[in-house]
């Protein structure tokens, strides 16, 4: 793509952060970006919130400031905050067995699996073992029954194995059995709705007209050596929700897989991780609960993703440092195709990248990595 055909960048860039805008625009030259947004908050203030390009593959619809995009697993970072809120209210205990709240979950050798183990991908339920229709994911009761009955694919507590979709069903089952509402409803009624944060799990049909259209990756991701845990997580015909069409998929509540958001909304929600448990300067969870959320629950080679990972109770820890910049204390999450959100409590910054050109990287997509590197270059 030549300079003449690069899209215009719209939005706000605070003085000193111009290199972030330059890095953002370079993704169109180097990676054939279609449309994207990036937001960065520092010290509680929005210092970058930009967007560019097009919301559809034909490039007939401009990407707007309020364009929503599915962020897939990046939404797990927000689901983890909702679970922490329930812990903070005394409705959940990270160290209690899941079966204390969901007795049927004890079947198949899972009676000792704790809430924290389930949220850190240690329950051995990376996918549904029983053959089913991809449309069955739209029936939460049916999926919860399958998960409750299923024997673990590995001994729980012996290592993480990423749960791409089932994470959300386990978390949502716990939310409804303790708070009485789904994760999507809690966000709508208690968090995003009152605060005007454009993040949705279960997108109303009235908002579908402003959603971006994805372009699928041109190659498959490298999952490493084949295993049953990996096949069930990603490669079976029923590994992810399908066969109901885009409208029903957007309306459904899959907390691990179909959150819709703007970059600005994600960066704002992530401030809970960077600002001692506060959202918009107000207490969201206690500092003690935040520490419990982000502390290491498991580390080492993941049984599903081909990476060495460190997990808190639903959030990825940047201990190497890894995908989210140079600060080991940073936490974050990435989503299928390239989206990501991160929070650095040391430097007091949070950021999020969303896009509709999907690439094959499971984590560490070079587009957000470039942006995050530019951010830290500006912070020096």
What positions carry a catalytic annotation? 73
The strands making up 259-261's β-sheet, listed across from edge to edge, are 69-72, 259-261, 199-200
Spatial distance between the Cα atoms of 32 and 27, rounded to a whole number of angstroms: 7
- Token representation of residue 210: 């402003």
SS3 at position 225: coil
In terms of DSSP H, where are the helices of 112-222? 115-119, 140-149, 166-178, 183-186, 192-195
CA-wise closest residue to 356 among 32, 41, 78, 40:
32
Spatial distance between the Cα atoms of 57 and 55, rounded to a whole number of angstroms: 7
Q: Residues 271, 276, 279, 280: what is their CA dihedral angle, to the nearest 10 degrees?
A: -90
What is the DSSP annotation of 259-274?
EEE-HHHHHHHTHHHH
CA-wise closest residue to 340 among 359, 363, 318:
363
> CA 347, 350, 356: angle at the middle one, nearest 5?
145
Spatial distance between the Cα atoms of 329 and 318, rounded to a whole number of angstroms: 6
């Amino acid at each position: 793509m030549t300079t003449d055909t690069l899209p215009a960048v719209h939005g706000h860039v605070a003085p000193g952060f111009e290199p972030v805008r330059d890095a953002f625009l370079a993704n169109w030259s180097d990676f054939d970006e279609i449309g994207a947004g990036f937001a960065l908050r520092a010290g509680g203030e929005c210092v970058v919130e930009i967007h560019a390009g097009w919301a559809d593959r034909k490039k007939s619809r401009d990407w707007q400031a309020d364009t929503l995009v599915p962020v897939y697993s990046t939404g797990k970072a927000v689901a983890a905050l909702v679970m922490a809120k329930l812990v903070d209210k005394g409705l959940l205990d990270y160290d209690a067995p899941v079966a204390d709240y969901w007795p049927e979950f004890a079947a198949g050798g899972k009676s000792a699996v704790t809430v924290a183990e389930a949220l850190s991908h240690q329950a051995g339920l990376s996918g549904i073992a029983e053959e089913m229709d991809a449309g069955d994911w739209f029936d939460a009761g049916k999926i919860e029954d399958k998960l409750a009955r299923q024997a673990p694919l590995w001994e729980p507590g012996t290592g993480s194995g990423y749960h791409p979709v089932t994470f959300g069903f386990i978390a949502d089952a716990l939310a409804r059995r303790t708070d009485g509402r789904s994760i999507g409803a809690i966000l709508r009624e208690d968090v995003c709705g009152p605060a005007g944060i454009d993040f949705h799990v279960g997108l109303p049909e009235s908002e579908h007209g402003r959603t971006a259209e994805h372009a699928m990756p041109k190659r498959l991701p490298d999952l490493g050596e084949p295993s049953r845990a990996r096949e069930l997580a990603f490669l079976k015909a029923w590994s992810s929700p399908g066969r109901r069409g885009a409208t029903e998929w957007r309306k459904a509540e899959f907390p691990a897989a179909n959150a819709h958001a703007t970059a600005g909304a994600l960066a704002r929600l992530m401030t809970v991780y960077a600002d001692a448990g506060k959202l918009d300067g107000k207490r969201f969870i206690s500092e003690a609960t935040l520490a419990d959320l982000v502390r290491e629950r498991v580390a080492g080679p993941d049984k599903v993703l081909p990476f060495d990972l460190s997990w808190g109770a639903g959030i990825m820890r940047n201990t190497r440092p890894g995908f989210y910049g140079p600060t080991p204390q940073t936490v974050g999450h990435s989503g299928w195709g390239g989206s990501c959100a991160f929070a650095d409590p040391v430097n007091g910054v949070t950021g999020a990248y969303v896009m509709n050109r999907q690439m094959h990287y499971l984590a560490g997509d070079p587009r957000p990595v470039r942006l995050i590197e530019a951010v830290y270059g500006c912070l020096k």
